[in-house]
Every structure is written in C-alpha cells, then in structure tokens.
Structure 1
Amino acid sequence: MDSLSPAARSLAARCEPRVNELARRMIRTVFEQLNGYAELPAEVKDVEITATARRGLRQFLRGAASGEAEAQRVPAGDLRHFQERALQRADEGMPLHLLLGTYTSGAHVLWQALTDEARPGEEAALTELCGALITSQGRVIRAVTESYLDEQAAIAAERREQRRSLARALLEGAGTGTADVAAGPFLVVHLRFEARQSGGVAIRRLVRRVQTALDRVFGTEVPALLDGGGGHVLVPGRTELPDAVTGALREAAGPGLRLAATVASDVGGIPEAARVGTEIVRVATACGHAPGAHRLDDVLLEYHLSRPSAGSDRIAALLAPLADRPELTATLRTHLEQRRDRRATARVLGLHPNSVDYRLARITGLTGLDLGAPRDAALALAALLLGSGQANWPG
C-alpha cells in the first residue's frame, strides 16, 4: 500500500498527544455502554484494558504520522500484545462479543478524534486515515478473534478431559479419595449406540452431541466416559432420569439408542451400578426389546436367567447347532419376545406364519428344544442370554 500523504501524516501527528485523553474517554464512557463491561473487575478495566487501548491508539497514530504504511500493517510486537490480551480474556471468561466490542468502539472514538481535529481542506487526508484505520482494525480483530477462539477451544478440551478422567477413576473404583466429588447418591447411566461410529471425526462429533445433550438436560457439566459405541454417565445428587433425557439423547445419538439407569448410594458403589446398567442393556438387546430406556424390572427374569453358574456352559451349548443359522436365532429371539405368538412373530419379522412355523420346526429339529413346552422355552431363553454374554462373564 502507498505511503500516506503529508496532510494525512500531519493530521495523525496532531492527534497523537491526545492518546491518554482518548484512552480515558474509551474506558470511562464508551466501553461502559457495552453489555457486560461494568461487571468486569476494576483491575482489568482500569489497568489492562486501558493499557491495551492506549497502545492501540499510539501504534496507529505513530505509524500514520511516520508516513509509512505501518498503520495498516500493525507491528508484530503490538499484534502479539493484542493476542496475549485475548488469551487472558478468554481464560477469564470474557465473552468474545465484549472483547471485540472494545476494539470496534475504540476505533470509533479514534475516528471521531481525527474528524474533530481535521481542518478545512483536509477531507482527503481524513479519508486516507479512515481507510488505514479500517485496514489496521481488520487485521487486529482477525488476530484477536483467532487467538481467543484457540484458547477457548483449548480450555474446553482440557475441561472435557478432566471430566473424562474423573468419570474413568470413579468407574474403576479409584475415585473414592477424589476431591470435589459429592458423597452421593449418583445416577449411573449406561448408553449404547446402535450403529458404532468409525473414524475419529465422526466419533468426536457423536460424543460432543451426546455430551451437550446431557449437560443441557441435567443443567450442569456431567462427567461421562463415552466412545463411538456408548459408555457411562455419572450424575451426582440424582436418583432418577428426567423425562426429557431419552428424547434428547435419541436426537443426539440416533433412534437406536439404548440406555439403563442405576443408582449408587456412594462413590464406592459406582462400579457395581455401572456393571448392572451394562447388563440390563445387554439382556434387553439379547431379548429383542426395542431401543430406548430399559429398567431392571423390564428384564427381571431374563436378567436372572443370564447369570453364569455351574451349568451355564451346557445351557449355552444348547443353541450351538444354530451358530451358522442367524435367521433361526433371530426367529427364536423374536418368538420368545412375542410370548411365543407365531402370528406376532411373523408380523415383526415380515414373514408368513407358515414360514415362522417352518423355522420353529427347524429349531426344534436342530436343538431338540420344544418351544411349546414352558421348560424348554425357558431353557432356550437362558441359552440366548448366556450365549450373548459369555465374553462379559467374570473370570
């Protein structure tokens, strides 16, 4: 950009002695009109913001008075200073709109001062300085905004990791001595997402959506340990799920969301509550229950039947002949879920009732289980549940 004209240089030089006066005017009158400025600490307003305003005014006017394009370029040292102040404001929690408001209002005060100082015949010089001020202001605001947003992103990432670390420690039973943790009770929520996300970006977006929904529904930053397949959420001081939780989480994670909530009376009970919630969801899934919120009472018998015992391996082996026939396993699961109603089973699977009869006969022929007999139906249900959960058994 070309150097400023002698007239523009002269106008800027005449304004430079007013830097302190202009900075005081900004702080005591103009900035006070910005929403939220009055609530800032006095030290921030009277010292740091005042010094930054004074530096910005002086940098522009001196650069313009020198006759070079310095006013538009903004020296690297000054730019770093503005960026460092932006980092401080982000760390202190000052809203971005308020921070940028001080810069735009300050530029307006400077423009008014130049206009007041201009003499007849200096209209072109004033226009030159206006262009230089706009260019300089744009560069400063871009740098300040970028630094502010980078710092806020870093702060948010650190806060998320702190919450994840806290949730991990509590779920592993290592958080009993953790400071700032409520004594109890805790609502422990297990989540399972139907379609596991692949790819780091997709997983991060899913987790952020779910975390945002949780924080909004519970009205606080909720510790959670989540990944692309689900995870656990810990809510201090709660014993029941708000009505809005399932809908909010389904919107964030998709219609295939499953969840179960249990209660830990204290920190030490969190790992067991998390295990029970995980099992409730597993059993509900194995039984063919529709996605949504599951309670222990909904799967009470199935939960009991799915507990491992000395005979678990032999019961699970009853369905081994179906290992290569997933359509028969799905039919068996649906038939038991539909209380052995062949027509209801046909409707759910989209089959003709005769096709269901054929598949049930094949199941009986391969396994020797007569699903019409209550005892054999119970064995088939237990075999389904034990077979789906063997990888999760203790030991």
Structure 2
Amino acid sequence: MIVSIPTISASLRERTALLAANPTAVNERMYETLMSLEGYENLMPSVRQDIAASIDLTAGLWFQSLLTGRPPSADDMDRFREFGRRRVHQRVPLQSVLRAFRLGSREIWRTYIALGEDDGSLVDELLFVISPYLFDFFDVMAQSIAQSYLEEQYQQARWREALRHQLYNIVFYTPDDHDGFRETVEALGLDSTAPRVALAIDIELPEHTSYERERELDRIALASARHLAAAPGDLVRAWHRGRLILWAPCLRGDSINRIDRLTAERAGALAAAVPELHRIGVGLMNEGASGWAATVDEAIRALDFTPKSQGQSQVAMYSSILIEESARLASNARRYLVSLLEQLANEPELVATLQTYFEQGQRRGQSAAALGIHPNTLNYRMERIEALLGASLDDVGWIEKLDIALKLRRAPT
C-alpha cells in the first residue's frame, strides 16, 4: 500500500494538473524508452498498444495520487494488476517489466526536474518532497505488478501441466481422439499438424519431493531445448515407462533421413552437456497423436535394443535397428533367425565364437586373440559353424542373417 502521500504546494499542484490534463509528451517518452528494452523490442502491434495503455494508466494514477492525496482505488489497482497478468501471456520477461518501471519513473522525474528549471522555488519541494514519494510510489506499483505476474505465471504453469497430462493420456491411451489431440496441442500454443521426433532419456534423478522433481525435469528440459535448437515452449515433455520423453519439433517438409541425422548430432551434444543424462534413444519423425506415440515407442526400443555394455555412443537411434526390428516383429522371420543359433546350442563355444567374431568386426586374428585361442582353433570353429548351418561366412547374406540373429538373442523380449 502506498503511504505518506505528500501535500504539495499550490504552484506544483497547478503544474501537475496541467501535466495530468495533457500527459501525451511524457507518456510518449516513456513508451519510446520501453520499446528499446530487451523483451519489448519485437512485440506485436496489439501488445505494444496494450503497453501504451498501461503507461497511460500508471502515469494517470501517479498524477491523481498527488492531486487528490489519496492512493489508487481498489478498482484502479485491479486494472493495473491485469496488465501484469497479461505480460505473462505476452511473453515479456518479468525482469524487463520491472526495469520498465524504473525507467518509467525516471522519465516522470525528468519531467518534474524540468519544472524546477523553470521555477527555482520548486527545487526544494521536488528534491525533498516529490522525489521520495516518486520512488515509493513506483516501488509499490512494481511490487504489485510483480506479484500479479508471478501469480499468473504459477497458474499458467499449473494449467500447462494439466494440459500436458491430458495430452499424455490422449497420445498413449486414446490416439484416435484426433479432435482432442488438436485442441489440447493448440491450447498449449503449438501447431498440432507439425511433425515431431521423440527422445527417450535414461536419466539419473536423486531422491526428491514431487515438486523438486518437477523443477529438476523443467531444468533439464530447458537445457535440452537449447541443444535441440527448439524454443523452450515448443518442447513437450512427459514421463513414460521410467524415462523422460521429449517431443522436439521438426521443420515441416524436411525428410525423415535429414531430421534423423540432425537429431542424432543434437542428441549427442545434449548427452555430453548434461551429466544427468545417461543414454538417449531417438525415434523417427512422425505426426498426429498416433505418430507421437509411435516415435516414443521407437525411441524406447532403440534404448532397449542397444546393449549398454557395448561402450558405444550415448545416443541410440531407431534408424540403426530398423532391420533387426523388422525381423523381430515378423514372427516367421524371427523364428527362422532364432533357429539358426539353436542349431549351435549343443556346442556353446560356437555361439561365443560367432559373437566375438562379429564384435571384432569379422577379423579372425583379433577374434582369436579376444577368445584366447589359437587361430587354427578359431578356423576350425568357423568351419564347424558353416557345416552345421549350411552357411558360408564369406556370403554377405549369411553375415546379415547371423548378425541380426545375435542381436535378437541379446535384445530384451
């Protein structure tokens, strides 16, 4: 609450009344100063008009309080706080809003200094009466608008959290609800028709309260947005099957292959920059509710299908396991491939030898050394494998089949 409104002299009252009756000049100077601030410079015309209206109201309340000796009314303060709430949705940073008040008060003070230059009798009154009240007035108003801004920001966060939860349910449980998906995505301020790619992240989170956990996930999502070249508000997050899920926007009309390669690079940079992220699975670009679910499923499969013990990159791409996935999902193909290794099951050293052979890039010398056996022993085992399977390990087709069979053997069911 604004207190200690000073009683001003008749001379200053007369000049203040003139300013209040025609505040255009001071308001325009305030407006021009604000439009150069960070957070204000690229606003839409409708938002600029709203800011001009807030300047008119603030300056008017200042002049009114001096002339009447009364603080702004409850209705006036409600109107004033509404501007603070709107700044949240207009995406003007709170820091910029508060700086605008400091600079606005400076412009009003300059106007009063000019009055003192014209009339020396006002100097003491301006310095010792008006300036303390000016600082008090704008400090209280700034606190009021900051409070309304933060309250609205909190309500918006809760509202967005509710929308995210609703979106999660649609994507994973009712993906045929196309209208619900569109309405929910657009309520979040996003384009429901734009394609997205999912990242599934194995993440280490210390024991936290629910609130602290959400804050930590928000922090990681913010860092992820920078590395994924997405605006923070354009990155959608969820917690699904024990993993942090991020849906990153893709450029409409771009190819799946290019998006896949670009996302792989960005995910690699993200994994290197954020130590809490252990591994990242990347799905393929898709769209719509069912597409959002499909790319998440692919990202999780990429993590599950790529063994952790291989010491490979922290990023697992679904595009790298497409052939294995096709075989795994086609029951007849899977049974055939599994049967190849079953034929070697009575001689376990043959399976171990074949596994090592592929791990060593099909180099026999390195494979023998890794197994700790003589190269002739390795050759014997390889010939035995070929004999049991009717295969040729020089044949590309057989190499592909056996490689996939071994990957299917390691992969979780």
For the structure 1 residues 14 and 125, does the alpha-carbon distance in structure 2 shift closer, same or farther, using more than 3 Å as the test?
Answer: same
> Is residue 54 of structure 1 aligned with residue 60 of structure 2?
yes
CA pair 60-159 structure 1, distance change in 2 beyond 3 A: farther
SS at match of 2:152: helix
| Change in 2 beyond 3 A, CA 1:160/1:216 | farther
**Are positions 1:13 and 2:16 aligned together?**
no
Post-superposition offset of 1:281: 1.4
Say if 1:280 and 1:295, in contact at 8 Å, map to a contact too: yes
**Match among 261, 264, 272 for residue 283 of structure 2:** 261
Q: Which residue of 2 aligns with 1:129?
A: 130
User: The residue matched to 1:290 in structure 2 has which SS?
Assistant: coil
Q: Which runs of 5+ in 1 are unaligned?
A: 64-69, 319-330, 348-352, 358-369, 390-395
Distance 1:253 1:291 in 2: 14
Q: Would the aligned equivalents of 1:52 and 1:82 in 2 still touch at CA under 8 Å?
A: yes
Does the 8 Å CA contact 1:189/1:262 hold for their aligned counterparts?
yes
**Contact 1:189-1:232 within 8 A present in 2 as well:** yes
Partners of 1:61 and 1:183 lie apart in 2 by 56
Change (3 A) 1:13 1:344: farther
Query: For 1:265 and 1:76, how far apart are their aligned partners in 2?
Result: 49
Which residue of 153, 157, 176 corresponds with 2:178? 176
TM-aligned CA distance change 1:293 to 1:33, over 3 Å: same
2:225 aligned partner: 214
Secondary structure of the 2:306 match is helix
Report Cα offsets for 1:213-262 as digits up to 9, x if no partner: 33763445133434673225254535223254213431246452221222
CA distance in 1, matches of 2:176, 2:205: 28
Structure 1 residues 376-391: aligned runs within 5 Å:
382-385=408-411, 388-389=412-413
When residues 108 and 304 of structure 1 are mapped into structure 2, their CA distance, relative to the original with a 3 A threshold, is: closer
- 2:247 maps to what in 1? 233
Secondary structure at 1:262's aligned position in 2?
A: coil
* Aligned 8 A contact 2:281 2:316 in 1: yes
Aligned to 1:193, what secondary structure does the other structure show?
A: strand
Deviations 1:326-363 (A, max 9, x none): xxxxx99x96984599x999x9xxxxx89x99xxxxxx
CA drift of 1:122 comes to 4.9
Give the C-alpha shift of residue 75 in structure 1. 6.4
Q: Is the 8 A contact 1:196 1:229 kept in 2?
A: no
Is 2:26–2:111's contact at 8 Å kept on the other side of the alignment?
no
1:99/1:32 CA distance change after superposition, 3 Å: same
> Quick check: 1:280–1:303 contact (8 Å CA) kept in 2?
no
Kept in 1, the 8 Å contact 2:202–2:278? The answer is yes
Shift of 1:196: 4.6
Task: Give distance in 2, aligned partners of 1:373 and 1:299.
Answer: 29
Question: What do residues 184-226 of structure 1 show as CA deviations (whole Å, max 9, x unaligned)?
Answer: 7x44324122425542324532344235533763445133434
Query: Which sits farther off after the overlay, 162-171 or 302-311?
Result: 302-311
* Contact persistence 2:245–2:296 (CA under 8 A): no
Q: Among residues 81, 84, 87, which one is paired with 2:85 in the alignment?
A: 87
Distance 1:60 1:103, change over 3 A: farther
Give the whole-Å Cα distance in 2 for the aligned partners of 1:215 and 1:163.
21
Counting only pairs closer than 5 Å after superposition, residues 67-78 of structure 1 correspond to structure 2 as 78=76
Check conservation: 1:167, 1:225, Cα contact below 8 A.
Answer: yes
Counterpart-to-counterpart distance in 1, 2:67 and 2:279:
61
CA distance 1:217–1:96, change in 2 (3 Å): same
Give, as a single letter, the amino acid of the residue that structure 2 aligns with 1:59: S
| Partner residue of 2:50 out of 17, 20, 44 | 44
* Amino acid corresponding to residue 246 of structure 1 in structure 2: A
Query: Aligned equivalents of 1:382 and 1:93: distance in 2?
Result: 49
Q: CA RMSD in A?
A: 5.0
User: Structure 1 pair 371/92, CA: closer, same or farther in 2 (3 Å)?
Assistant: same
- SS of the residue 1:144 aligns to: helix
Work out the CA distance in 2 between the residues paired with 1:51 and 1:2: 19
Please give the alpha-carbon distance, in whole angstroms, between the structure 2 residues aligned to 1:290 and 1:381. Answer: 15
| DSSP 3-state at the match of 2:278 | coil
Q: Is structure 2 residue 236 aligned with structure 1 residue 223? A: yes
Matched, 1:193 2:202: yes
Decide whether aligned partners of structure 1 residues 49 and 261 sit closer, same or farther in structure 2, where only a CA change above 3 A counts: same
1:331-370 alignment, distance < 5 Å: 338-339=359-360
The equivalent residue for 2:267 is 246
Q: 1:289 to 1:29 in 2, by over 3 A?
A: same
**Relative to structure 1, is the Cα distance of residues 296 and 116 closer, same or farther in structure 2, using a 3 angstrom cutoff?**
closer
Tell me which residue corresponds to 2:376.
Answer: none
Q: Deviations over 1:87-114 (max 9, x none)?
A: 1333344555664465334433443444
Partners of 1:15 and 1:113 within 8 A in 2: no
Partner of 1:367 in structure 2? none
Measure how far apart 1:176 and its partner are. 3.2
| Residues in 2 aligned to 1:28 and 1:229: alpha-carbon distance in whole angstroms | 52
| C-alpha distance 11-371 of structure 1, shift in aligned 2 (>3 A) | farther
